[in-house]
Amino acid sequence: MNVLQNVAYTAKATATGGREGVAKSDDGRLNVNLSTPKGLGGDDGQGTNPEQLFAAGYAACFIGALKFVAGSEKIALPSDTHINSEVSIGAIEGGFGIAVKLAVSLGDMDKAAAQELLNKAHQVCPYSNATRGNIEVELSVI
């Protein structure tokens, strides 16, 4: 287990009502209605779901890791860098699990160089470090 050497920031949020409830951050910046997707027996409702929130968070965090690695190697990331992220949920032995796919666009960067950058970012990204060995994470350059 990795232990934080120091705490740079702590996000605080409260969820009520589970997949049919509400999630709010303590500072009021996040305030979302939650709903269950049809694939999990819901009606898709008017809200988001935990998998969408995780997909957005992982993608944003991974771009931060890419920026960190690129900066340390004096590489300029394209301004249109983006990640199409997918978080799938399904049955595993004894319960449910998730799998992640991150399809990363680094513009016209050489594909081999881009893949190397992804691999390095995967080693420093907090989401990658939190999930490593626990879920399948597929990285690809698009």
Domains and CATH numbers, the chain: 1-48 (2.20.25.10), 49-141 (3.30.300.20)
At residue 126's C-alpha, the angle toward residues 83 and 15, to 5°, is 85
pLDDT of 21 reads 96
45-104: pLDDT as tens digits: 899 999 999 999 999 999 999 999 999 999 999 999 999 999 999 999 999 999 999 999
pLDDT of 45 reads 86
CB-side neighbour CA atoms (13 Å) of 58: 27
**Per-residue pLDDT at 2 exceeds 90:** no
- Would you say 34 and 22 are in contact if contact means Cβ atoms under 8 Å apart? yes
Sign of CA dihedral 58, 62, 65, 71: negative
pLDDT of 44 reads 85
R_g of the chain computed on alpha carbons: 17
The band of 1, judged by pLDDT with boundaries at 50, 70 and 90, is confident
**Per-residue pLDDT at 28 exceeds 90:** yes
pLDDT > 90 fraction of the chain, expressed in percent and rounded: 95
- Give the containing element (helix H, strand E) for 69: helix 50-72
Higher pLDDT, 3 or 55: 55
Torsion of CA 109, 110, 113, 116, to 10 degrees: 80
